């Protein structure tokens, strides 16, 4: 199975800050990489697919980049509703696998 390693596992930041989360795959997945946001009491939300394509309805402050084994999710200016847990997911090979998650907390 392809292992996905996210870093950091948690980060503290303030409203307005820029935050970058990294995801590394144990083998190349081309651009078969998605990012999700999980907030308590809400369904998981797809943010980015195909490594860099913004899902419809997701604010433009979210962006993704990368290919192969190295990917990043950047939030350009944190808003209060962005404090949540973020997961990357590879779909380059089955079984699809997730990173362990990055918890974004308010400083």
Partner 1 sequence: EVQLVESGGGLVQPGGSLRLSCAASGFTFSTRWMSWVRQAPGKGLEWVVNMKYDGSDIGYVDSVRGRFTVSRDNARNSLYLQMNSLRVEDTAVYYCVRMGSLDLRRTGDQWGLGTLVTVTS
Q: What token pair was written down for 16?
A: 């307005």
Q: Does 99 bind partner 1 (CB under 8 A)?
A: yes
Nearest distance in Å: CB 42, partner 1: 8
x-or-dash string of contact with partner 1, 3-42, rule CB under 8 A? -----------------------------x-x-x----xx
Counting every residue written for the chain, the total comes to 107
CB atoms within 10 A of CB 60: 7
Between 16 and 43, whose beta carbon lies closer to partner 1? Answer: 43
Q: For the purposes of burial, counting CB atoms within 10 Å of the CB of 37, is it exposed (0-12), middle (13-18) or buried (19 or more)?
A: buried
Among 62, 66, 78, 89, binds partner 1 (CB under 8 A): 89
Q: Assign 43 to helix, strand or coil.
A: coil
Among 26, 50, 77, 107, binds partner 1 (CB under 8 A): 50
Nearest distance in Å: CB 56, partner 1: 9
Q: For the purposes of burial, counting CB atoms within 10 Å of the CB of 82, is it exposed (0-12), middle (13-18) or buried (19 or more)?
A: buried
CB atoms within 10 A of CB 14: 9
Q: Which residues bind partner 1 (CB under 8 A)?
A: 1, 32, 34, 36, 41-46, 49-50, 53, 55, 87, 89, 91, 94-101
């Amino acid at each position: 199975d392809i292992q996905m390693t996210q870093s950091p596992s948690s980060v503290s930041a303030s409203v307005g800050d820029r935050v970058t989360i990294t995801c590394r795959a144990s083998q190349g997945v081309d651009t078969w990489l998605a990012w999700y946001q999980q907030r308590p009491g809400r369904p998981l939300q797809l943010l980015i697919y195909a490594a860099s394509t913004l899902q419809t309805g997701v604010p433009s402050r979210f962006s993704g980049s990368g290919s192969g084994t190295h990917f990043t999710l950047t939030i350009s200016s944190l808003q209060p509703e962005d404090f949540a847990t973020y997961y990357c997911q590879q779909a380059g090979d089955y079984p699809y696998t997730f990173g362990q998650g990055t918890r974004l907390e308010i400083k």
